[in-house]
Structure 1
């Protein structure tokens, strides 16, 4: 049974791409030329967002390397203890809105220390899947279209990441710790 699922997953992307090319050809769309035009339009956008990406990467590095993350964890520990949120998950919950790579590193450390099937491993997995790199996404998307005032998007995005962290812990406790 598992080999069949692996075969489907291996063929899914090539089948989708072939379908797009086939439908385009059937509709008499110049598929290759259209692809090239799209790539030409995407290149200036990529160049335009590079400064935003560099700024975000520098900010994340400074945040982690300066000790600000550790200080924040120490200051917020009583709140997380009160909410029964394991302290091992907190760095991941704080890094997830900022850096996907940073949160993935924390999750990998949790897996290596406690195991992926442990309660902490399950919480980390649910958190990784239920939250997003909000600040990165806003930087890239808003930077690419020139939006300077993020206004409510940052607040709503960070609030949803906070909810994802809280409910990841609660749902995993509810399903696996009973």
Structure 2
């Protein structure tokens, strides 16, 4: 177990150092290249700020208006039938929209039930196996001007649904619940 801690502590410094050393030996002006990349990234950041603000406002309105609670009440019988813990459902619904929102729900689950509880394990697996699909599509598609997302939204949300379902199944299977 000790070597895994050592590996995780040194992984990032080793990768960064390797990039610097390889760049030096290939005679790449590493610092100047970094500055040039940062300079080119700044306009992209400015372009995506409106999309980020819009997404954060939409998530806040969704949570604060009570729409999330209403949706949860409506779906509760379905999740009870499927043996999906109701405490994990808000995270499953919010994960495709907001990473911060789902992280706060996971933190609440940890504080209430503990990180080693079944709910804590399901929340951890779900957080790691899914992505903020709508956030990613909004930011990336918006920043490059794509207006028609075609199948990206459907496939992304379907994969989030699969991640949520399999998070529960895998934890039940692995820990004999």
Partner of 1:169: 168
Partner of 1:51: 50
Matched position secondary structure for 2:96: coil
Query: Partners in 2 of 1:10 and 1:166 — Cα distance?
Result: 32
Partner of 2:86: 87
Shifted more, 109-118 versus 152-161: the winner is 109-118
Partner of 1:12: 11
Structure 2 regions of 5+ residues with no counterpart?
Answer: none
Query: Partners in 2 of 1:162 and 1:48 — Cα distance?
Result: 30
Cα displacement string for residues 48-83 of structure 1 (whole angstroms, at most 9, x for unaligned residues): 000000000000000000000000001111111111
Structure 1 regions of 5+ residues with no counterpart?
Answer: none
Query: Partners in 2 of 1:153 and 1:81 — Cα distance?
Result: 30
Q: Which runs of 4+ in 1 moved over 2 A?
A: 4-11
Aligned residue pair count: 177
Query: Partners in 1 of 2:71 and 2:85 — Cα distance?
Result: 15
Query: Partners in 2 of 1:118 and 1:5 — Cα distance?
Result: 23
Shifted more, 6-15 versus 94-103: the winner is 6-15
Partner of 1:42: 41
Query: Which structure 2 residues correspond to residues 122-161 of structure 1 after superposition, within 5 A?
Result: 122-161=121-160
Instruction: Give the CA RMSD over aligned residues.
Output: 1.2
Query: Partners in 1 of 2:160 and 2:82 — Cα distance?
Result: 16
TM superposition shift of 1:8:
2.8
Query: Partners in 1 of 2:164 and 2:53 — Cα distance?
Result: 27
Partner of 1:108: 107
Shifted more, 144-153 versus 59-68: the winner is 144-153
Partner of 1:77: 76
TM superposition shift of 1:7:
3.1
Query: Partners in 1 of 2:44 and 2:70 — Cα distance?
Result: 37
Q: What TM-score does the superposition give when structure 1 sets the normalisation length? A: 0.95
